[in-house]
Structure 1
Amino acid sequence: MAEGNKVVSLSAKAAYNLADVTKTSPVFDSLTPRWVTRLLDWKGLDTGIFRLNKVKEGDTPLDTLCSQKIHTKIPEGFVDYEQNPREYNLNSISTIINVNTKVSDLYSSPTEQIQEQLRLAIESLKERQESELFNNDDYGLLNNIDDSQRVQSRTGSPTPDDLDELISKVWKEPSFFLAHPKAIAAFGRECTRRGVPPATINLFGSSFLSWRGIPIIPTNKLFVDGLKEPKSKSGKTNILLVRTGFEKQGVVGLFQNNLPGEQSKGLSVRFRGIDNNGVGSYLLSLYCSAVILSKDAIAVLEDVDVGNYYDYAQ
Structure 2
Amino acid sequence: MSASAGGQTALGDNAARQLANATKTVPQLASITPRWLTHFLQWVPVEAGIYRLNKVQNPETVQVACTQRDSEGRLPRTFVDYEEQPREYFLNAVSTVLDVHTRVSDLYSSPHDQVKEQLRLTIETIKEHQESELINNPDYGLLANVAEEQRIFPLTGAPTPDDLDELLGKVWKEPAFFLAHPLAITAFGRECTRRGVPPPTVSLFGSQFITWRGIPLIPSDKVPVADGKSKILLLRVGDKRQGVVGLYQPGVAGEQGPGLSVRFMGINDQAIASYLISLYCSLAVHAPDALAVLDDVEIGKYHDYPDTYK
Task: State the Cα distance separating 1:74 from its structure 2 match.
Answer: 1.6
Distance 2:233 2:154 in 1: 12
Could you say which residue in structure 2 is the equivalent of 1:148? Answer: 149
Given residue 264 of structure 1, which amino acid in structure 2 is its aligned partner? G
Pair 1:241-2:241 in alignment: no
Distance 1:16 1:5 in 2: 19
One of 237, 254, 263 as aligned partner of 1:270: 263
Which is worse superposed, 54-63 or 10-19?
Answer: 54-63
The TM-score normalised by the length of structure 2 is 0.94
SS at match of 1:9: coil
* Correspondence 1:279-294 to 2 at 5 A: 279-294=272-287
Distance 1:144 1:7 in 2: 73
Pair 1:129-2:130 in alignment: yes
The TM-score normalised by the length of structure 1 is 0.93
Could you say which residue in structure 2 is the equivalent of 1:258? Answer: 251
SS at match of 1:47: helix
Task: State the Cα distance separating 1:70 from its structure 2 match.
Answer: 3.2
Distance 2:5 2:303 in 1: 67
Could you say which residue in structure 2 is the equivalent of 1:71? Answer: 72
- Please tell me whether the aligned partners of residues 179 and 218 of structure 1 are also in contact (alpha carbons under 8 angstroms): yes
SS at match of 1:17: helix
Distance 1:256 1:28 in 2: 27
Which is worse superposed, 8-17 or 179-188?
Answer: 8-17
Could you say which residue in structure 2 is the equivalent of 1:229? Answer: none
- Please tell me whether the aligned partners of residues 65 and 75 of structure 1 are also in contact (alpha carbons under 8 angstroms): no
Could you say which residue in structure 1 is the equivalent of 2:307? Answer: none
Q: Which has the higher helix share?
A: 2
Structure 2 alignment gaps of length 5 or more: 305-310
Distance 1:43 1:224 in 2: 30
Distance 1:67 1:23, change over 3 A: same
Could you say which residue in structure 2 is the equivalent of 1:178? Answer: 179
SS at match of 2:57: coil
Task: State the Cα distance separating 1:310 from its structure 2 match.
Answer: 10
- Please tell me whether the aligned partners of residues 186 and 308 of structure 1 are also in contact (alpha carbons under 8 angstroms): no
Distance 1:121 1:4 in 2: 51
Distance 2:241 2:140 in 1: 19
- Please tell me whether the aligned partners of residues 150 and 170 of structure 2 are also in contact (alpha carbons under 8 angstroms): yes
Pair 1:302-2:277 in alignment: no
Structure 1 alignment gaps of length 5 or more: 227-234
Q: Which stretches of structure 1, 4 residues or longer, exceed 6 Å deviation after superposition? A: none
Distance 2:292 2:110 in 1: 50
SS at match of 1:111: coil
Distance 2:33 2:239 in 1: 26
- Please tell me whether the aligned partners of residues 237 and 303 of structure 1 are also in contact (alpha carbons under 8 angstroms): yes
SS at match of 1:77: coil
SS at match of 1:131: helix
Distance 2:289 2:172 in 1: 8
SS at match of 2:82: coil
SS at match of 1:259: coil
SS at match of 2:265: strand
Q: Aligned-pair RMSD on alpha carbons?
A: 1.8
- Please tell me whether the aligned partners of residues 140 and 283 of structure 2 are also in contact (alpha carbons under 8 angstroms): yes
Pair 1:91-2:92 in alignment: yes
SS at match of 1:249: coil
Report how many aligned residue pairs link the two structures: 303
Could you say which residue in structure 2 is the equivalent of 1:31? Answer: 32
- Please tell me whether the aligned partners of residues 56 and 81 of structure 2 are also in contact (alpha carbons under 8 angstroms): yes
